[in-house]
Structure 1
Amino acid sequence: MLVTLNDLLPNEAASNGAVACCNVFGIEEAKAIIGAAEALDRPVILAVNKDMVDLAGVEAMAGLLLPLAKASTAKVCVHLDHCYEEAIVFRAIHCGFTSVMFDGSQLPLEENIRRTKNVVEVAHAVGVSVEGELGSVPYQEGRDHIKSAFTVPEEATIYAKESGIDALAVSVGNVHRMTEAGSPIDFPLLAKLQAATTLPLVIHGTTGISETDLLKLKTQRIAKFNVGTTLRMAFGNAIREAMTNEPKKFDKQYFAAKAMPALQQEAMRVLALLS
């Protein structure tokens, strides 16, 4: 069943659980992750990141993911992750994405509000939900164009009210693309952010957060956790093992199929942890 963030996040924010937003790079990941959601009777968000936008384009990814989402017995949101260009966001909306993230986190507050608000007006006119980011969640490997900045509660109040977004991604110590848990979460800051806005909050960089902190975070107003690295590691390691064990095989689809159960198992672990 195809849904938007607004069909999922308000209920998750009010509960002691949250929904997983999983990066997908092809049909194998999409089917394994949807399979995990169906097995656990949990909703899931399929996220298309910048790498896949650059490689395939939003139109091709919509063509791949939307039929799978519509056919699923689980609630599935098809979401455009971190996008810095309005033109791409509008293309994603036009071809059927049910949720988009316009990432103005690298912009001054006023410009972030202005540009995010423009996206919101277009998206809401056709029933598409919008995620924004305030502060800036860094990457473990470092990226020249991405700063590291905690979310300021006073700015969160202004941004949430004036932009009109449906969900707010925050920076409270979380870090993108960590391969091991080790991000120290600033829970006092998170408490201030929860007091600053009533919006559902989003955590990016889930793989880098300890299970203890995740269990605590999901009971807060965190409604959405973005998950990528741990899923890619499970899938990639399983492919590597299969290729090592069968050196005379060479078909990509053969090895991807061999690795899908490991990916689905890891997705089930994450969905169960957050539920």
Structure 2
Amino acid sequence: MTTNTAENYVARARAGGYAVGGFNMHNPETTQALIEASIRAESPVFLQVGRAIVPHMGLEAAYRMTRRELDGTGADAVIHLDHGTYDEVFEALRLGFDSIMFDGSHLQFEENLKATRYIVQVAHSFGVPVEAELGSIPDASDGIDWSAHYTNVDEAERFVAETGVDFLAISAGVMHGLTSGDPLPLDIERIQRIRDVTGVPLVLHGASGVPGSDISAAIAAGVHKLNADTDLRHAFRRGIEETWARGDRQLEDAMSVGKSMMIEATIAKMREYGCAGASTAAVLTEARV
């Protein structure tokens, strides 16, 4: 049985006390950057087809682009559907995604539970693990009412027990994007309580901008998959802008610099999360030494 699976990545992270990064691609160059970072850092990675790229090119084209860039590289990577809708989940299973996230957080609790339970049954019949979300992740703002977003501990216990999800994305103080103010400290106690009552590995989305001390505390509390996009996307953009600031340049030149900066930013995330050096090949090599 292959060890290059989403479930195995997260199981190894849980056993090793680190988290695996889930990062979003936006075009071939950003996909190449994530794959190259995985190879250089000897790190497993979730290559995430998410909410930006799907409206841009469509789910099938995004998957085929990612698969084309990944195949033959030797990178320790899986292709993951991020924030998938109900219909997208089934299309992703047909296409051959390695893991999926169904986002029913916009639904009422009972509706989310019912839809997620059915999706888990179908996905597991394909051998595909499922991540689901409970609570909600707000868009970046300096005035968030967190009481409307935090994951309820009792609901999380029932949700996991009745759906059979493999990983649970929770809301504990993270947001999509960055604000101009200081980030709110993560609710580490809430994360610990959800870990204790559910027994499954937890996921935090919106890890860009979260201080390293909070990242470490979240991992210790039970988070073993961390999603980040904004920091990496900004690194790519910075490379393009700095290239064009020197005068007219070819788009390919600017994207090449952007890709290099994104590679370095991704490797830094992998080191921060503790997954650098945790690829299957790296672990096997160390075990033989």
Instruction: Give the TM-score of the pair, scaled to structure 1.
Output: 0.92
Q: Which aligned pairs between 1:18-97 and structure 2 lie closer than 5 A?
A: 18-83=19-84, 85-97=85-97
Deviations 1:220-241 (A, max 9, x none): 3211000100001111011001
Identity, % of aligned pairs?
Answer: 31
The residue aligned with 1:201 is 202
Shift of 1:172: 0.8
After superposition, where does 1:1-275 map in structure 2 within 5 Å?
3-83=4-84, 85-141=85-141, 148-178=148-178, 182-247=183-248, 249=249, 251-275=250-274
Question: 1:137 is paired with a residue of what secondary structure?
Answer: coil
- Structure 1 position 86, deviation (Å): 1.6
Gaps of 5+ in 2: 275-289
List per-residue Cα deviations over 1:194-223 (Å, max 9, x = no partner).
111111100011013111111222233211
User: Quick check: 1:23–1:46 contact (8 Å CA) kept in 2?
Assistant: yes
Aligned partner letter, 1:41: E
CA distance in 1, matches of 2:35, 2:69: 8
C-alpha distance in 1, partners of 2:71/2:125?
21
**C-alpha distance 24-221 of structure 1, shift in aligned 2 (>3 A):** same
SS at match of 2:130: strand
> C-alpha separation between the residues in 1 aligned to 2:169 and 2:247?
43
Q: 1:100 to 1:71 in 2, by over 3 A?
A: same
Contact 1:204 1:227 in 2 (8 A): yes
**What letter corresponds to residue 119 of structure 1 in structure 2?**
I
CA gap 1:148/1:242 in 2 versus in 1, 3 angstroms: farther
For residues 80 and 149 of structure 1, the distance between their equivalents in structure 2, rounded to whole angstroms, comes to: 22
SS at 2:194 equivalent: helix
- The CA deviation at 1:69 is 2.9
Q: Which amino acid aligns with 2:117?
A: K
Q: What is the one-letter code of the residue matched to 1:39?
A: R
- Kindly indicate whether the alpha-carbon contact (under 8 Å) linking 2:49 and 2:63 is maintained by their aligned counterparts in 1: no
Count of paired positions: 268
Q: Say what the alpha-carbon RMSD is for the aligned residues.
A: 1.9
3-state secondary structure, aligned to 1:199: coil
Q: Say if 1:31 and 1:202 are closer, same or farther in 2 by CA, change over 3 A.
A: same
**Structure 1 gap ranges (5+):** none
